């Protein structure tokens, strides 16, 4: 298995923020589909195929970008617990 984000195209190429589109919420380039919507669908158990059927303006690469974004966010946001020193 390769790295979590290593094989995905840079998500910044597919996910944009523009104050004029959905109030600046992250969306997939060329659509009004929000990143939050796709991540919530994935978290709810929807398959990529189901999401693509629900949002025909999306591509498989958009789903992969959403997953890459979540993986990168997890690396940045989750604190590393400190391990108490054992004597």
The pair of structure tokens assigned to 59 is 């591509």
Q: Write the class of the CATH domain 11-73.
A: mainly alpha
Q: Measured between alpha carbons, how far is residue 28 from residues 23, 48, 52, 83, 87 in Å?
A: 14, 15, 13, 40, 52
Tell the burial category of 2 from Cβ atoms under 10 Å away from its Cβ (0-12, 13-18, 19+).
Answer: exposed
Residue extents of the structural domains in the chain? 11-73
Q: According to DSSP H, which parts of 1-87 are helical?
A: 35-43, 48-54, 60-77
User: pTM for the whole thing?
Assistant: 0.77
pLDDT in tens, the chain (87 residues): 345 445 455 788 999 999 999 999 999 999 999 999 999 999 999 999 999 999 999 999 999 999 999 988 877 666 667 777 666
């Amino acid at each position: 298995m390769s790295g979590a984000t290593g094989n995905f195209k840079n998500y910044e190429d597919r996910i944009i923020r523009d104050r004029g589109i959905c109030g600046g919420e992250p969306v997939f380039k060329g659509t009004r589909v929000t990143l939050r919507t796709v991540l919530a669908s994935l978290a709810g158990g929807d398959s990529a195929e189901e999401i693509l059927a629900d949002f025909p303006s999306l591509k498989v690469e958009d789903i992969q970008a959403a997953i890459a974004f979540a993986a990168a966010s997890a690396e940045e946001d989750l604190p590393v617990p400190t391990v108490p020193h054992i004597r």
